[in-house]
A and B are shown apart, each in its own frame.
Chain A
Amino acid sequence: MSATITRPAPDRTLRLGISRAGYEIRSYFRQGDTVFFTFLFPLLMLTIFSVAFSDSDFGQTPDGDPVTAAQYYLPAMLAAGVLLSGLQNMAIDIAVEKGDGTLKRLAGSPLSPVSYFIGKIGQVLVTAVLQAALLITVALVVFGVPLPTEPERWLTFAWVFLLGVTTCSILGIGLSGVPRSGKSASAVIIPIVLVLQFISGVYIQFSALPEWLQNVANLFPLAWLAHGMRAVFLPESYSALEQGGEWNLAGIAIACGIWLVVGLIATRATFRWIRKDG
């Protein structure tokens, strides 16, 4: 028949994935609630903390300059952004699409699930990058946060960010199976994300938490991402406040890497367009 697909499959899968990403990004920015709760939320929190704690003491650099609230909270909000754009957005989005029939429609179309995920991860990547750029720009321009000048620090930022986004996205796909319906998706996912943020040093200074709670938080990727972002944006001397008294970049790679692999295996094993009945 004329209607057989003649293109080589990998090429077609990638092409449709990119087309899907464009479609997803457009949809993302048309949904007012996701733009607010996922995209702008960290920026809002950064602004609130920077203003509310403008008189608080966050220590000082070796040169004696005070570290402002904005500088202190920028890494935390960048980590939160990675979690929201990756995990929260992905988990809620897919759960809703499962519930409203979008996935069933796609299941009946010649779209490969791989293309679908390329689209989703593409959307997450683009929105997360825009979100981080916005956060850093506002921190610099509005709150005068000094940004690192050493290329190594930006290199660290790049890999922590990318690893974080990828890991959170994959885990989001896994979590999308937890809500029983699209309607309950936000109610199920947001509390998980909130608790993680509170115990992982996003809203509350990590070093102020009891050691056992720090250890619990360190089982999850967010605490490591926040740790990595602090290593990039806080003065070197602040490593003394960390567990072990130093920046543990290898720990970030290991923790996120394990979650990434676990998430990939779980997704590969469990994701179905639709649940075939028993």
Chain B
Amino acid sequence: MVLSPTGASRSLAAVFTPIKSRGLVDEVCGRIEQAVETGLLTSGQRLPNETELAAALGVSAVTAREALSQLRASGIIRTARGRSGGSFIADDVLPSRERALAQLHELSRLQIRDLALHYQAIAAACAGVAARRSDAADIATLRSFIPAADDDPLSWRLALSEFLLEVAAIARSARLARELIRLQADLGTLTLLPCADTGYRGRTAVILGDVAAAIETHDPGAAETGVKALISATTDWLLTEQAKSY
């Protein structure tokens, strides 16, 4: 039987969906924001000028200029004129609780749940394969990403995302790793919120230990259950918090 192209083929519908690109300017801004978030670029530090930035990232000078002005508008950099002038990373640029809350309230409960489901599917697939492929060195690296209970929320958030990326690295699947990075970018600064809660930090620290143990003992089932629980802990916290705005 031949499928008629005029029939309601869902795969065909996707072909004709308009292509939206995030744009090069957004891409450059995203890179710089990421560099700030991970501590590579710090407050007060001077940024390269347009020409240098353009050359380093392989974009045109126009794109670099637009990106710098967009970063200035969103308060990530400040510009000083004169002899000691230039663009500098602003003083208060780290992801803030206020910004994360604003992001949370923009999302619907449905969006949060769906994102969590996708995140769980990818992370669980990584964890299952990681449990098959792990060696002693992998486990040592993985455990180094389990944060201490008294670390600050920012380093907790970073450690949690690095922990899951390490699970993907142990699974040794480039595709799953790329998907995980994309999902973490979609979650954005949201994950900062639960990390400020001692109860959440205590619960997740236990889960992280369980996941590492399951991957070490080559138990795919337990590893999958563990990472799913880790993501549920985050989503449940976010949904509880989001409900308070109604």
Check if A and B associate.
no
Point out residues on B near A: beta carbons under 8 Å. none
List A residues at the B interface (Cβ < 8 Å).
Answer: none
